[in-house]
Amino acid sequence: MKKYEADRSFTNYVHTHLAISKIYSELGWKIKHIAVKELERIDMHEGIDYVVSDKENKTRYIQERFRDNHYKDFNDATLRYRRDYNKHKSRVKSEFYKIKADYLLYGITNGKKFEDQRHSLTGFIKWVVLDLDFIRQQFRKGNLKVENSKRFTCWIDDNKLICPINFNEDTSSSFIPLDIKLIKQLWGSAPIMAQKGFL
């Protein structure tokens, strides 16, 4: 199984077996049923995994990313940045550029992602829901900057959040970390819709 397919399989498993009962229900989110082809389109072109109704019955668009407990000591949520070696030019710019979701749901599970160890997945060590519209606004205003750096985690410089471009070991893609504590330090609770364990 290719890495992307393995990651997708893991994320789908966590969504079905953990996120719906432990996060969606707590937030009052109800999944809206969308035609398969339309869901595939918005996933590929707009970075949207699920469409939900919130507590006020408003439609919200969700991007999900889940990690296993190997990442428990990290304090950031991540977005894919680029796939520089993708043979399809239209797919080189990844989630960071195309995402139109309202919220990023990012969670660290308490077990392992491998198929033969998924019985170890019983909950989340921590999870966060980020307001992506707020994050996009800060990026447009220049308050959030993306830089090539030898650092692997974000830092604050002149009241701006500076995020390094990190690369996956298999060179399939790069990603941007968004440090939750630094986001809270700079902008308060406004961009953090809900969380457990990050702060």
Summarize pLDDT for 133-158 with one digit per residue, the tens: 999 999 999 999 999 888 999 999 99
Q: Residues near 147 by Cβ (< 8 Å), separated by ≥ 6?
A: 162, 163, 164, 165
> Does residue 7 surpass a pLDDT of 70?
yes
Better pLDDT: 23 or 96? 23
198 versus 171: the higher-pLDDT residue is 198
Query: Domain coordinates of the chain in residue numbers?
Result: 3-196
Q: Is the pLDDT of residue 169 over 80?
A: no
Q: What percent of the chain has pLDDT over 70?
A: 88
Closest CA to 72 of 127, 32, 22: 127
- Give the least confident one: 82-86, 125-129, 195-199: 82-86
* DSSP reduced 3-state for 191: coil
How crowded is the C-beta side of 152, counted as CA atoms within 13 Å?
A: 4
What is the rounded distance in angstroms from the CA atom of residue 175 to the CA atom of residue 184? 21
- Are 77 and 106 in contact by the 8 Å Cβ rule? The answer is yes
Tokens in use for 115? 């198929």
pTM over 0.85: yes
pLDDT digits (tens, 9 = 90+) for 60-74: 999 999 999 999 999
Instruction: Please tell me the predicted confidence (pLDDT) of residue 34.
Output: 94
